[in-house]
Amino acid sequence: MNFNRIVLIGTVQGNPETKYTTESGVSISKFVLAAARPPRQDGRVEYDHIPVVAFGKAADYSAENLRANSTVLVEGRIQVNQRENNGQRFSQTEINAGVVRVFGAGQGAAPAAVPAPPPAQAAQPETAANPFSGSTLDDVPF
């Protein structure tokens, strides 16, 4: 059995670019998501900048609600696109998003602006970098 599913939480880098297909009018939204890697031993956190593409309703939601520095959840699948240019082969890995949601937004509601984190969260950056710190195997539901 094969399974291609990914869930990412990260920060949108720049505003999404949204276009519409000429034939069917389907919306396509592209943006880059910065997702943190686990902290290194010296405490530094590095980020992966992952291209995301959304179609249809997910693209419409992205165009209406995502802005630079929005914290979002993206659920979808990994897709590797390969092309050839002047005899050289290129590949690009991106996320084909089926679900895009801004953190802090209710179902179907768009926030006017991405709210700043409360002072209690700002005082605990180690929790923000690793949401599983302090967890044990007894905390795992399966």
Q: Residue ranges of the domains in the chain? A: 6-139
pLDDT tens-place string over residues 118-130: 444 444 444 445 5
**Four-way CATH pick for 6-139: 1.10.238.10, 1.10.490.10, 2.40.50.140, 2.130.10.10:** 2.40.50.140
pLDDT tens-place string over residues 25-43: 899 999 999 999 999 999 9
Rounded Cα–Cα distance for residues 102 and 20 (Å): 22
| Residue type present at position 39 | P
Distance of CA 3 to the CA centre of its chain: 19
Q: Identify whether the C-beta of residue 117 lies closer than 8 Å to the C-beta of residue 69.
A: no
Its pTM stands at 0.69
Sheet strands (E) in 56-87: 71-85
pLDDT (0 to 100) of residue 96:
97
Rounded Cα–Cα distance for residues 9 and 128 (Å): 11
Angle at Cα 79 formed by Cα 72 and Cα 130, nearest 5°? Answer: 40
| Residue matched to tokens 């768009």 | 110
pLDDT (0 to 100) of residue 133:
56
Per-residue pLDDT of the chain (142 residues; tens, 9 = 90+): 889 999 999 999 999 999 998 888 899 999 999 999 999 999 999 999 999 999 999 999 999 999 999 999 999 999 999 989 888 999 999 999 999 999 865 444 443 333 344 444 444 444 445 555 555 555 555 4
pLDDT (0 to 100) of residue 136:
59
| Closest C-alpha to 102, from 80, 130, 74, 136 | 74
